[in-house]
Structure 1
Amino acid sequence: MESARAAGLAAAPDAPPARAEAPAAEVREVVREVVHEVEVVREVPVAGPGTVVVDKPLRSGQQVYARGADLVVMAVVSFGAEVIADGNIHVYAPLRGRAIAGARGNTEARIFSTCLEPQLVSIAGIYRTTETELPDNVRGKPAQVRLDGEKLLFEPLA
C-alpha cells in the first residue's frame, strides 16, 4: 500500500474484518426414491439422422432423395417430379408426381398427402401407377398409403 500512495494512486481502505454470523438453522432433507420396472411391450424404431424438409414446389424432372431419413414436402409435387425417402414421405400439398418411400426396403414406411393424386406410389419396392384408378375415398383427398404384406393400402385421413 505504501508504494501505491507514493506513486499517487488512490488508496483503498483495508476491508473491515469479517463479522461472525449466527450459524444457519440445520436443514434436513429427506429424499425417497421410488423405482418402477417397466416391461417393454415392443421396440419402437429410433429416428434416423433427421428429417429432410423441402419448402419449394417440385417441378417435372426434379428429384429429391432423403437418404436414411423421412422427407417432408411443404409445396406441390408436380406431375413428373419425384420424391424418394428411406423413411416416410409427408406432402402437405398436392402429390401429383412419383413418391417412393422405404427406398431401402423399409416395409413400415408410409406416404401421407393432403391431396393424393400421384403418378406412382411405391413402398419398399411394391408400387402402383395411375393406370389403376385410385379409390374415390382417397383420390384428391387427404390420405395415407401403407404396406399390408405385399399389398398397398390407400386410407383416408379423417
Structure 2
Amino acid sequence: MAGNISYAGNIVTSSQTGSSMTFTGDIQAESFKVAHYYGRIHMAGNELAVNKLWVGAGGGYDNSLYGALDLDSGNVTTAGQVRLAELGHGVLNVNQGSSLTVSGSNDTHSTSASFLLAHWAYSGELNLRGGSLTALSTSMRLSWDGTGTFNASSERRICWE
C-alpha cells in the first residue's frame, strides 16, 4: 500500500496464510494492530506513528497462530505502547536500516505497560536484526503471563535510560 494514511481510530491488519502485505506510505493512527492469521506485514521506507502498536492481536486463543510485523529498511516507527502476543503469537522484527522508538512512560509491571512482549499465556518475540531500538522512558517487560523473547543480532544501538 503506497498511499499515506491518517486515521483517528484503530487500524487492524492481517494477510492470508503464507502471504504478506507491504506498506510504503506513512501511517498515523491511534493504534496499528497486526492480527494473527499466519500472515506477515512489512513497513518499508515509511513512517509509522501510533499510540499503540500490537502484534499478534486478535481473538483466536490459539498460540499456533501468529502475526508478524517486519520493520524494513527506511522505516521509522514511533509508538507510545508496544505489545506483542495479545491472544496469539506475535513477532516483531526490527531489521537493518529501520528504527523502533517506544515513547510511552508506563513502567509498571502490568498489562498496561508501555513495552510488553507477552500476554495472555501467549509468546511474543522481538528480534533486533540490524535496526535500532530506543525506549528512554520505560523498561522492556518480557511477560505479564506469557513467554517473551528478545533476540539481538545487531551492531546498531539499543537505548534505555
Give the structure with the higher percent strand: 2
- TM over 0.5, yes or no? no
Greater relative CO, 1 or 2 (CA 8 Å, sep 6+): 2
- Please tell me the TM-score bracket, short chain as reference: 0.3 to 0.5
Larger radius of gyration: 1
TM-score, normalised by the number of residues in structure 2: 0.42
